[in-house]
Amino acid sequence: MAILPIRVYPDPVLRVRCAEVTVFDDDLARFVQDMVETMHAAPGVGLAASQVGVEQRVAVVDLSVGEDPAQLLVLVNPVIESREGSEVEGEGCLSIPDLTEKVQRPFRIEVAAQDVHGASRRFAAEGWTARAICHEVDHLDGVLFVDHLAGLKRERAKRHLKRLVKEQGEHEWHAAAPASSL
Ligand SMILES: [Zn+2]
């Protein structure tokens, strides 16, 4: 297993629409293990493949950050099939260090996804689990949480992103991200 470097804004891979996974082999299984290790080490509660530079529709979510193996979700080719209700909570992203803003997300979603072997399943998720899945599926489409902000929050985020562009141009980012990041 290996910890993979996390890509930080404005890395262009964060804007790519990732491709469907069609090959379910040992390489995919190893990549998923590396993603889980990378997410836990960050620490973060979710990670999408494009955040480690791989343009494939793979994401992992673990609200327990490694404390409870039963909470780990491995999502290959995830699709959000329905959305219900709404909830506003503070959200951050491992690829946008040091920014947390309140984002409106559905309270309950239904998800269809494959596992690492290609088996399909369908399940419902609520609250923070639903939020994390929406955040990661957005990543797979090249969408970042700041894209959902409006008004003053959007202006604040824009200023933050501008700073990141400057910093990324000057040095590699080494700061630790908050534990609620995805
Ligand atoms: Zn993120």
pLDDT digits (tens, 9 = 90+) for 122-156: 999 999 999 999 999 999 999 999 999 999 999 99
Q: Give pLDDT tens digits for 47-78.
A: 999 999 999 999 999 999 999 999 999 999 99
Cβ contact 126:150 at 8 Å: no
Whole-number average pLDDT of the chain = 94
Q: Model confidence at 181, in pLDDT bands (50, 70, 90)?
A: confident
The pLDDT score that the predictor gives to residue 172 is: 54
Distance 111 CA to ligand 1 centre (A): 18
pLDDT band per the 50, 70, 90 thresholds, residue 169: confident
Question: What is the pTM assigned to this prediction?
Answer: 0.93
- Cα of 47 vs centre of ligand 1, distance in Å, is 7
- Catalytic site residue 136? yes
Which residues, by Cβ under 5 Å, contact ligand 1, an ion?
Answer: 93, 182
List of residues 6+ apart from 162 with CB closer than 8 A: none
Give me ligand 1 centre to Cα 181, in Å: 7
| Confidence (pLDDT) at 175 | 47
Q: What is the pLDDT of residue 165?
A: 93
Asked whether the beta carbons of 37 and 62 are under 8 A apart, the reply is no
CA distance linking residue 103 with residue 41, whole number of Å = 25
Average pLDDT over residues 154-164: 96
Distance of CA 150 from the midpoint of ligand 1 (Å): 18
Whole-number Å distance, alpha carbon 86 to ligand 1 midpoint, is 19
Catalytic residue among 110, 126, 136, 167: 136
Task: Give 35-79 as a DSSP string.
Answer: HHHHHHHTT-SEEEGGGGT--BSEEEE-TTTTS-GGG-EEEEEEE
Q: What are residue 46's DSSP bridge partners?
A: 61
If you measure from the C-alpha of residue 60 to the centroid of ligand 1, how many angstroms do you get, rounded to a whole number?
Answer: 11
Q: What is the pLDDT of residue 176?
A: 46
